[in-house]
Amino acid sequence: MSPDLLHPDYFTAGVAEADPEIAAAIGDELARQREVVELIASENIVSRAVLEVQGSVLTNKTVEGYPGARYHGGAVNVDVVERLAIARAGALFGCRFANVQPHSGSQANQAVFQALLRPGDAVLGMALTAGGHLSHGASFNISGRHFAASHYGVRRQDGRIDYDALARQARETRPKLIVAGGSSYPPAIDFFRFREIADSVGAYLLVDMAHFAGLVAGGAHPSPFPHAHVVTTTTYKSLRGARGGLILTDDEALIRRLDRAIFPGVQGSPALHAMAAKAVCLGEALKPEFRAYAAQVLANARALAATLLDAGTDVVSGGTDTPIVLIDLRRQGLKGDAASDALERAGITCNKNAVPFDTEKPAVTSGLRFGSSAATTRGFGAAEFRFVGAKIAQVLDGLARDPEANGACEAAVFAEIRELTARFPIYQGV
């Protein structure tokens, strides 16, 4: 082999040797993840096995199509992987069919739109401003540009969906597809009622369970089956695995359309390393300890919500049935961007988030969104979540009193957070 073609260590050197700049950034990121309390609801901490599989030689393989019907040779091993992932997804969520190829939750939803609708058809999804997701028909998203999207909101008094108003809106807008699920909607969704409304206008029902899929898998949340025609999810939030998405259904005619919508409709070749990592995390979620994890994710989110409520914080919808806790900062006169920056300086990572009827811009917002999945994975119980809730209240109170003078409070809280996280180590020996 020509030494000019490949570095002599190409097949053997790790990233520390081969690319020290990127290695340093990754090392710093591991240190950050070890040190802070991670409350971003879209994150989790995957197992060593999932990490390993996402870095495996499967990244070299390209196929198109589905097991047994590929367009490329050499697919025998990845067919094993894909069949296992499909079987595990079905077993875990109690449905007959799964597509495990979506690169992300957004692309899973895009494929459902492609499979069930024609361009210009009417869809009804939750408004972004009420907690919905971009891919549910937002005007600037492909789902809102190619389809005639209407949006439902939540009630002003309790931040919950008004199902009677939703039924009226469905009769008025005659959607072909109704989407249930959101990115910052803490209460449980009444899937039965959604299906009734969908049936009353002859619409399909899609449930996007991206945030609470891990709770459904672990028996800590009602299942969208048998109510939904199609269910989509991400695999990296409460489900605690690979980056990517899933499409699930019980309907044999629909899975054929959904498969064709993913490939060749909206994607080319699947990311096989991520698909294998999905299989691994689905396997983990089928084990008994995942039920304990799911129950603890919910208990911890509720402990956080209760602590914040007790401290006088405005918790949207009064609590949670999911990993998500959403707080409204307007009562304290705070903005989401400044509040999340202050918490980050105190070692608590979360995200600014619009609250229902927010009048601030998306880059500012009047709220914060927290999620309990990642810190639960590292071993936090309700006591740790109550402690963290008290620290959040302390930092936000200080910020509301005097933003200029809050530095000492933030630094003192970070010291306490470091002591806490040191007691719950992650990835020892990595």
Ligand X SMILES: *Cc1c(COP(=O)(O)O)cnc(C)c1O
Q: Minimum distance from CB of 181 to ligand X (Å)?
A: 5
Cβ nearer to ligand X, comparing 105 with 347: 105
Question: What are 264's two structure tokens?
Answer: 């060749």
265 DSSP assignment: I
Cβ nearer to ligand X, comparing 99 with 406: 99
Cβ nearer to ligand X, comparing 245 with 283: 245
Q: How far apart are CA 61 and CA 231, in angstroms?
A: 28
Cβ nearer to ligand X, comparing 106 with 249: 106
Other CB atoms closer than 10 Å to residue 36's CB: what's the count?
20
185 DSSP assignment: -
Which single residue brings its beta carbon nearest to ligand X?
A: 105
**For the chain, what percentages of helix, strand and coil (3-state, to nearest 5) are there?**
50, 15, 40
Q: Minimum distance from CB of 253 to ligand X (Å)?
A: 24
122 DSSP assignment: E
Q: Minimum distance from CB of 135 to ligand X (Å)?
A: 6
Q: Minimum distance from CB of 211 to ligand X (Å)?
A: 5
Q: How far apart are CA 382 and CA 301, in angstroms?
A: 8
Pairing relation of β-strands 324-328 and 348-349?
unpaired
Cβ nearer to ligand X, comparing 101 with 421: 101
Q: Minimum distance from CB of 108 to ligand X (Å)?
A: 7
Question: Residues near 110 by Cβ (< 8 Å), separated by ≥ 6?
Answer: 135, 142, 143, 266
156 DSSP assignment: T
Q: How far apart are CA 295 and CA 217, in angstroms?
A: 11
Tell me which residue of 265, 297, 397 sits closest to 342, measured CA to CA. 397
Q: Minimum distance from CB of 96 to ligand X (Å)?
A: 23
Q: Minimum distance from CB of 98 to ligand X (Å)?
A: 17
Which stretches of the chain bind ligand X, using CB under 6 A? 42, 104-106, 133, 135, 181-183, 208, 210-211, 234, 245
Measured N-to-C along each axis, helices 407-422 and 382-401 cross at an angle, to the nearest 10 degrees, of 170
Cβ nearer to ligand X, comparing 245 with 398: 245
Cβ nearer to ligand X, comparing 43 with 82: 43
148: three-class secondary structure by DSSP: strand
Q: Minimum distance from CB of 111 to ligand X (Å)?
A: 12
> Which residues on adjacent β-strands are paired with residue 369?
326, 351
Cβ nearer to ligand X, comparing 135 with 313: 135
